Amino acid sequence: MSNEEEFGMEDLVEQAMEVTLEYEEEKSSDILKEYYSIIDPKLRKMKWGYKPSKSVDFGKTDQSLLNHIRNGVTFLSQLQRTLTELDRDFSDSKLRKSIALFVVHDIHKLRTVDGAEEEFNVDKRLVTEIVEDSGLEEFCDLNTESYYSAVKASHKSWNAKIARSPEFGNLSPFVRLADSIASSPTPEDAASSRSQKVLEEKFTDLEFRHHQLREEKGVLTNIINRSISQYMKEKERPLLTIYSDGCLYITEKEKEEIEIDEEVFKEILGHFMDDIKEAHDNFSNPIKLSDSITGGRLGSYNASPEYYFYAGLETISKGFVVKGIGAAESDNRATDSMISDIQTASEISGIEIEEGRKVIGYGRIVATFYKEILSEEMGLNDGLEVLGEIFNAEDSASRLQDISDEQDSELTTGGKWNYSLPIAQEFLDSEIDGKEIEDFEPVKLAENLSERLLDKISEQELEEELMGEFQKEIKAYLSDLIVLNATDHTVEQPDVFDEYTGKSRSKVCNICNRSTFGNKGDMETNKSDTGLQSGFSNFKNLGASKPESQILCKPCQVEFGLRNIEGGQSSDYRIFFHLIPDYFYTPESWSLAENIVQEIGNGKLQLERIAEKVIGDEFTESDDYLGNMADDDGWDVLHSTMGEFKNNFGVQILEYQRSNSGSALNDTSVHFLSIFTGLLTAQISGSRAVISEKPVNTDGSNFDEMVKIDCGKSQVLSVTGETVSIQKLDEKYGGLDYSSELEAKLKAFASLIRLGYGVERKDSLFAKYLRVCRNNELPGSKLLKMIVRDQGPGNAGYHLREAEVVDKILGDTMTENKLDHLSELGYRIAIPKSYKAYAVERPFREAVKAVTKTDNDLGKEDYKNLVSGRLRKGLERTDQTFSRSKDDLDTEKGFGERVDEFADFFVDEIFYGLCDGKPGKMKRKSNNFADAYYSGILKRKNNGN
């Protein structure tokens, strides 16, 4: 993607809001478009994406304040649409004002208060400031009192205040309903009595309904999710919100609640079968589908049973024709074997057949129609008669019906079916509606022949027969998967218990532990068809041998078949980003998330430049990340596994792919870099995420943090942690101006990447840098020293802030703070004349020697005297440093007093505070402490203090 084609967040919003929503068959709300163009960009710049609305430290599932606001706003817009369908009133004016009030309703969470009594005592000046900074003045005409009431009275809790604005009082149920739904992490929770009570304040005759899915595979369950919503729409239950594992609907109470029985299940299954056929162009476009059709060497083509499921018999038959015409038009000359087959068929049938690839290609179409389709319903003679009618070849068909058994053997030797060649020749010599066969466009001819074929067979029955047990497996899966209004429908299921408890587990899916109605051979799937590394398993450790096949259930085979429909090569390293809505989508926000993920998945990644942007104070992940995704110099490492699928919603999946390509990578480095990329991707797409080596997220959304890290060895996880939350920072991170753990870790990982590239631009070395983080209390300072050692002191100044962030977040904050203060005291007594380590660290090293070179067990005051004495003597004699006067430092303390101050702090806080007054421990830690001291002195030297 060239820089001229770059898309920023605003472009993607505009694109998402402008498209006609396939689900709703109408344009997005203009009011919602205004929210995304006026307010949302300002909230992002105010860092609401890193501030918690719900978090694990309060027993909730993580949700950022930005995503909470987006959820409520998009819900209100969707509610207006559904209320209109139900002939209820929710005017544009009410919608606009409700959105504006909802934007400010949670700003009390931007403050830290001592007690619950003060939670809603928000200063009116803060409310006014937020209204101005967020663009609400431009968006909506509301007075300050209404906004103030929304802040103080939107929550029905004991410590909330009473509203003073009549306008807010009128709109309060809409604001509180949006808050209730936006705070519901599951469709079941959204349909609970809590939300129902708020809905009934305005609409006593309406109620919520929902469906849930018991697992989330990816593309397959997304299509199922959408199919159920289509069924519910037909039953006049309009869609409100889309979860990764279900949907929320609204309907009139008088309508009977839908429970899954055999009839309902059959209707949903029918929707699903139709939707999956329309889900991708490869399933509805015969030209694209022909690329997935195999065979040809034995004179005919074939399609695997799942393709009859994906595309249907009609489209597959067209694909056979297109494939055959392509072979007929090949420039390659016919092989000797082909010529021999033509001559034999000509001699037996008595029909002159042109020698060449043309008749071979059309012959494959004829043979495929018989071997793949007609032979399932009829014998040879009846099949020849039907082929004669389809291909204008009654004469050839009649002659072939009268051949001897010996001649039949000659035409079918080696698995071929050369009955097709005379029929193909007669077809080529004929016309359709006065037009020669070769003058037809391939697709037009395919449509004509397919129509003729389908007129001769029972399409639905034959389609089911061609699918074999496949449809039965999928039907069982849907039955096991779908819960509608707390009801489900039971059909026969594969018996997995006996298989799982058996010693070999030979018929248990490597991914999800389902079994099959068939045998083990039905489950064996070539690894090339899945894109998985050989031997992948979610439930068992494999030995040294790596089998070429995976054991997968039919639903998992479908999932991987869908993901790999467009092909693609497997990389050496693959990490999957399973992006889960935080907490839900509406049709518009799904369209936006889909656009963002597709843009990221189609781009290139310049990791160092993105890391540099993340560290900056003005970083806006949407613009800076997207801008650098479009960089021509980057690595093409992110790919959307959702491809060009339509008719689906739920989760998004991206793959982080890396190949060695001459530079030796390793698991540790790839995992760390992918985790950083995954965190950013989750943020920009408004998602929670699971970052994993598993292509299918078997745990679904069953975790509470913003990001769950399910990949990486202990060396990686010891630095990143197994989860990243939106919760506020612990006290140990005191002094950092970050809104949450999520923001802090993003800054720390970006800083580590910048420091690593500062040492050497080689990705494989991040395994080494992570060891530095694990083995050092102050890893940022250690890496900064490595930069100085390898690159010279000239580059160190560019990385001081990064070293400090890594020390505080990935190291020990208390140690960093103490050594930073020590360096401040040291800079007042010894300013280095160069950046060389021995000059910069001179006071610290002298102090260490003072406490470690004595054999006596001394008290604190004695150690202080030793340090002070050694420093005075050493600093007065060296020409490596100099000291400023009292006037320059604006202090009354002379040089000696400042040395004593340094000695006192060193002994109290470093020697005793960090090393327990033990010389041996001080000596062991001194090098890493010296690195931090070095960083602190350089920071002051660069700032000119």
Residue 540 has what pLDDT? 43
Residue type (1 letter), 423: I
| Helix, strand, coil fractions of the chain, as percent rounded to 5 | 60, 10, 35
pLDDT per position as a tens digit, 164-193? 788 988 999 999 999 999 999 999 999 999
User: Taking the chain (945 residues) in consecutive chunks of 10 residues, what is each chunk's mean pLDDT?
Assistant: 48 63 54 92 91 90 95 95 93 96 92 68 90 95 92 68 79 95 95 94 96 93 94 94 95 93 92 88 86 84 85 92 94 93 95 95 96 92 96 96 94 93 96 94 95 90 82 90 92 68 68 84 74 51 52 88 70 87 88 81 78 81 61 68 78 84 78 91 89 84 90 83 87 71 92 93 91 93 89 78 91 91 94 85 94 86 95 89 83 91 97 95 94 90 70
Residue position matching structure tokens 């307010």: 39
- Can you tell me the distance from the alpha carbon of 213 to that of 235, in angstroms, rounded to the nearest whole number? 19
Tokens representing 353 are 């057949």
CA 235, 238, 244: angle at the middle one, nearest 5?
110
Q: Give the residue ranges of DSSP H helices in 278-355.
A: 281-284, 286-289, 305-310, 312-328, 336-349
Peptide bond preceding 419 in cis form (omega within 30 of 0): no
From the list 370, 371, 373, 372, the residue with the least C-alpha distance to 384 is 370
- Can you tell me the distance from the alpha carbon of 323 to that of 443, in angstroms, rounded to the nearest whole number? 10
Residue 4 has what pLDDT? 36
Cα torsion for 72, 75, 81, 83, to the nearest 10°?
-90
**Cβ-proximal residues to 909 (8 Å cutoff; 6+ apart), any chain:** 818, 821, 822
Tokens representing 5 are 């084609």
Q: CA-CA distances (angstroms) from residue 298 to 367, 553, 748?
A: 10, 30, 60
Residue 523 has what pLDDT? 85
Residue 502 has what pLDDT? 55
From the list 744, 762, 773, 891, the residue with the least C-alpha distance to 828 is 891
For residue 675, give the DSSP letter. H
- Can you tell me the distance from the alpha carbon of 887 to that of 97, in angstroms, rounded to the nearest whole number? 61
Q: Give the residue ranges of DSSP H helices in 605-736.
A: 607-615, 621-629, 667-684, 714-720
For residue 50, give the DSSP letter. G
From the list 366, 504, 478, the residue with the least C-alpha distance to 427 is 366
- Can you tell me the distance from the alpha carbon of 622 to that of 523, in angstroms, rounded to the nearest whole number? 42
Tokens representing 613 are 């942007």
Q: At what angle do helices 144-153 and 92-104 cross, to 10 degrees?
A: 60
Residue 635 has what pLDDT? 64
Longest dimension (CA), the chain: 120
Residue position matching structure tokens 């009649």: 398
Residue 905 has what pLDDT? 97
From the list 99, 102, 101, 149, the residue with the least C-alpha distance to 124 is 149
Residue 22 has what pLDDT? 46
CA 916, 917, 922: angle at the middle one, nearest 5?
90
Q: Please state whether 721 falls in left (phi above 0), alpha (psi between -120 and 50) or beta.
A: left
Strands (E) across 102-237 are located at: 206-213
For strands 687-692 and 707-710, give the pairing: parallel
- Can you tell me the distance from the alpha carbon of 11 to that of 899, in angstroms, rounded to the nearest whole number? 59
- Can you tell me the distance from the alpha carbon of 128 to that of 19, in angstroms, rounded to the nearest whole number? 35
Residue type (1 letter), 231: Y
